[in-house]
Amino acid sequence: MSAQISKDCTRPLIISEDETKENKTWEVFYLLRTHHTVREIADLVGLNKSTVQDIKTKIDDYGSPLPHKQTGRPSKINERTERHLNRIFREDPFASYKEINVELAKLDVFANIETLQSYVDRLDFKSYRVAHKPRLAARHCKSRLRWAKEHLNWTEDQWRSVVWSDESRFCVEGSKLRKRVLRKEGERYDERNIIPTVKWGGGAMVLRCFWGGGFGPLEIIDTSSVDQEKYINILANKFHPWLTNVTLHQERDFIFQEDGASCHTGGYTR
């Protein structure tokens, strides 16, 4: 037993060893949330590193430092908690299971990762690889919809006369490409479930095209962006000879499709 003096100094305030241990456990909890390392916390709280690591593991598994009662089966999540879970998934579909458990802990609900995953399935959510789409303004969406309507009744043969071209960026490293999202089936391209992409964000650039009968040349670009002069040189040296050859062999005229990137639409290019 340890003793501390109460504020009125008339009698000692007795704190049990269990209370002291619980207080230190909560200290570890809050220090972890403020991004202290295990070594730093051990020094600050006065515990050895293995004890701090055990507390951290418990928090990672259950979202709380409180003791977890092993009942032999997952604790039941009631209807209120299910509604709260559904709201979490909708408000932040990129939340990790650990982050979700922290939110559940605010309701005094503690579940391990396996139990939480079972309730994700029960609510018809699943973990998917996140979709990446270009960051579009309202005018971009309007323009794309208009274009789609104008070409709605094109025949298959007309589409075979289009050569589709674009630049692409490939990242050797990057966590965003491996990010996952909790969503329902059929919601892959919902606005809240995608990661918007922007041009020239680093990595290796390539330029390629294809049409209904196959692929065109692939050009690897040794810079992170393409200006008008570089784009014209690539077309003249790589794509124009190929397109001329395909046109002669197929005996048809082709439409070379580009997007609205500045290097495609600038005055020098035109």
Q: What is the pLDDT of residues 182-229, one digit of tens each?
A: 788 888 878 777 777 655 455 677 888 999 999 998 888 776 566 778
Q: Using 50, 70 and 90 to split pLDDT, how confident is the model at 7? A: very low
Tell me the pLDDT of the chain averaged across its residues. Answer: 77
Q: Where does 14-125 have alpha helices with state H? A: 17-33, 38-45, 49-62, 79-91, 97-105, 113-122
**Which domain, by its residues, includes 114?**
79-127
253 and 195 in a single domain? The answer is yes
Q: Is 214 found in the same domain as 142?
A: yes
Q: 188 and 115 in one domain?
A: no
- The fraction of the chain above a pLDDT of 70, given in percent, is 74
Whole-prediction pTM:
0.43
* Across 47-61, 99-113, 134-148, least confident range: 99-113
Domain membership flag for residue 5: no
Residue 124 in this model has a pLDDT that exceeds 70: yes
253 belongs to a structural domain: yes
Average pLDDT over residues 155-160: 94
116 and 201 within one domain: no
Do 57 and 109 share a domain, yes or no? no
CA distance 192 to 98: 20
The answer to whether residue 71 is domain-embedded is no
pLDDT tens sequence across 83-105: 888 888 888 888 888 888 888 87
151 found inside a domain: yes
Q: Let me know whether 219 and 157 are in one domain.
A: yes
Does residue 123 sit in the same domain as residue 137?
Answer: no
For the sheet with 214-221, list strands across it: 214-221, 204-211, 162-170, 255-257
Mean pLDDT score, 74-89:
76
Residue 14 has pLDDT above 80, yes or no: no
pLDDT at 10 over 50: no
Indicate whether 10 belongs to any domain: no
Burial of 164 (0-12, 13-18, 19+ CB in 10 A): middle
Judge if 157 and 238 occupy the same domain: yes
pLDDT of 127 reads: 80
Same domain, 203 and 236: yes
pLDDT of residue 234: 83
Where among 127, 146, 164 does a domain terminate? Answer: 127
CA dist., res. 75 & res. 66, Å (int):
15
Same domain, residue pair 203 and 157: yes
Average pLDDT, integer, range 136-154: 89
- Calculate ∠ Cα 196-125-129, nearest 5°: 40
